[in-house]
């Protein structure tokens, strides 16, 4: 196994005696996108703040082999982050906010590349206090990617972004991953996370209830096929007689077992001379998987 770029071990945190994180432990391998998922108040932001040393938390955090200490974190030189709302200097322009935090030699080139990537040219020289929510969010994201970080931690990065901004961010995240960057991303937009994440850490009431790959999580779902026919009643009867499990409701909706294929279904209908007008797969859905896992962890 590749050495983890981020290791979080036995994190425990209480706010006013209330446990908020309980024995949170997970690793992130380099060059992967890890989705941190959980309900409101589950503890995602608290985990991110603990990793970054923004709050004092029991347990250990190691970044690229270096142990983080609450009052000493040289490892953070390799980390970029956007937690909750971007902290911007309101009376500086977006460009100057970026320049203030840039450390590398290629400051102007780096800033220009980020401005172009996130389509910020029209307003980047205006004072940040005049920015809309989405403009501030884009600037905050650009700040997280300054100085070529190896690990980027993003808390709800799609917040306030329009569809174009969301796509720009998604494309950028994928490109960064291809260059070996590791990303830890929390999001309630599970459809977006499904497109991006390689791994999942699912949090419930401050505990890790599942640490898995996206592929393994999606394989947990049931695969349905919905068939439109000219004679649904006959189609249902024929498929039930052939041993298929049909979902309740009007359309002809079947649960496909791993050894059953759409071609087999169509063959049954063809044999009965039932005309099929459309076939649709119901894709695996991360939202449903997460809800199921959260429900089963409570059971
Ligand atoms: N400074 C604080 N003082 C007291 N309680 C806090 C503080 N910060 C967070 N909490 C509590 O810790 C728990 C976890 O909060 P956290 O912000 O980590 O959740 P989250 O998973 O990020 O939620 P969301 O999806 O709503 O952003 C919540 O119950 C929250 O009320």
Calculate mean pLDDT across residues 114-128: 96
Residue 107 sits in the same domain as residue 245: no
- Which CATH number belongs to the domain containing residue 268 in this structure? 3.30.70
Residue 31 sits in the same domain as residue 164: yes
- Which CATH number belongs to the domain containing residue 111 in this structure? 3.40.50.300
179-232 pLDDT tens trace:
999 999 999 988 889 989 999 999 999 999 999 999 888 877 777 889 999 999
How much is the ipTM here? 0.97
Domain that holds residue 150: 6-218
CB 154 within 8 A of CB 137: no
Sign of CA dihedral 206, 212, 214, 220: negative
Place of tokens 């650009």: 142
Residue 91 alpha carbon to ligand 1 centre in Å: 30
Position 296 in a domain: no
Residue 234 sits in the same domain as residue 146: no
Residue 170 sits in the same domain as residue 98: yes
Position 101 in a domain: yes
Residue 193 sits in the same domain as residue 271: no
Question: Of 48, 47, 126, which is closest to residue 88 (Cα–Cα)?
Answer: 126
Atom 18 (ligand 1): residue with closest C-alpha?
A: 43
Task: State residue 222's pLDDT score.
Answer: 72
Residue 39 sits in the same domain as residue 176: yes
Residue 138 alpha carbon to ligand 1 centre in Å: 24
8-65 pLDDT tens trace:
999 999 999 899 999 999 999 999 999 999 999 999 999 999 999 999 999 999 999 8
Calculate mean pLDDT across residues 96-115: 91
Number of domains in the chain: 2
The C-alpha atoms of residue 128 and residue 80 are separated, in whole angstroms, by 20
User: For residue 110, is it left (φ>0), alpha (ψ between -120 and 50) or beta?
Assistant: alpha
What is the atom index within ligand 1 of the atom nearest the CA of 84?
27
Atom 2 (ligand 1): residue with closest C-alpha?
A: 15
Residue 58 sits in the same domain as residue 87: yes
Residue 30 sits in the same domain as residue 87: yes
CB 262 within 8 A of CB 225: yes
β-strand pairing of 6-15 with 58-63: antiparallel
Task: State residue 291's pLDDT score.
Answer: 84
What is the atom index within ligand 1 of the atom nearest the CA of 46?
18
CB 182 within 8 A of CB 6: yes
pTM of the model: 0.85
Residue 95 sits in the same domain as residue 168: yes
Q: Return the bridge partners of 153, or none.
A: 81, 184
């Amino acid at each position: 196994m590749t050495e983890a770029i981020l290791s979080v071990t036995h994190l425990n945190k209480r706010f006013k005696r209330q446990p908020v994180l309980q024995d949170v432990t997970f690793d992130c391998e380099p060059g992967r996108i890890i989705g941190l998922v959980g309900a409101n108040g589950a503890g995602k932001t608290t985990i991110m703040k603990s990793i970054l040393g923004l709050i004092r938390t029991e347990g250990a955090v190691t970044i690229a082999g270096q142990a983080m200490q609450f009052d000493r974190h040289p490892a953070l030189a390799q980390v970029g982050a956007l937690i909750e709302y971007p902290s911007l200097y309101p009376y500086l322009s977006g460009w100057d906010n970026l320049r203030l935090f840039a450390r590398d030699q290629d400051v102007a080139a780096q800033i220009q590349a980020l401005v172009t990537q996130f389509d910020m040219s029209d307003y980047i020289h205006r004072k940040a206090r005049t920015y809309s929510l989405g403009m501030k969010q884009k600037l905050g994201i650009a700040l997280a990617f300054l100085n070529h970080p190896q690990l980027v931690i993003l808390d709800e990065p799609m917040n306030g972004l329009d569809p174009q901004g969301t796509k720009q961010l998604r494309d950028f995240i994928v490109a960064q991953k291809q260059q070996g960057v590791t990303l830890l991303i929390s999001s309630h937009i599970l459809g977006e996370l499904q497109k991006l994440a390689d791994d999942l850490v699912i949090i419930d009431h401050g505990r890790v209830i599942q640490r898995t790959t996206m592929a393994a999580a999606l394989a947990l779902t049931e695969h349905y096929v919905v068939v439109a026919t000219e004679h649904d009643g006959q189609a249902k009867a024929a498929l039930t007689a052939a041993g298929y499990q049909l979902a309740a409701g009007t359309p002809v909706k079947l649960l496909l077992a791993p050894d059953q294929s759409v071609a087999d279904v169509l063959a049954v209908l063809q044999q009965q001379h039932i005309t099929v007008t459309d076939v649709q797969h119901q894709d695996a859905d991360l939202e449903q998987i997460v809800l199921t896992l959260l429900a089963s962890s409570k059971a």
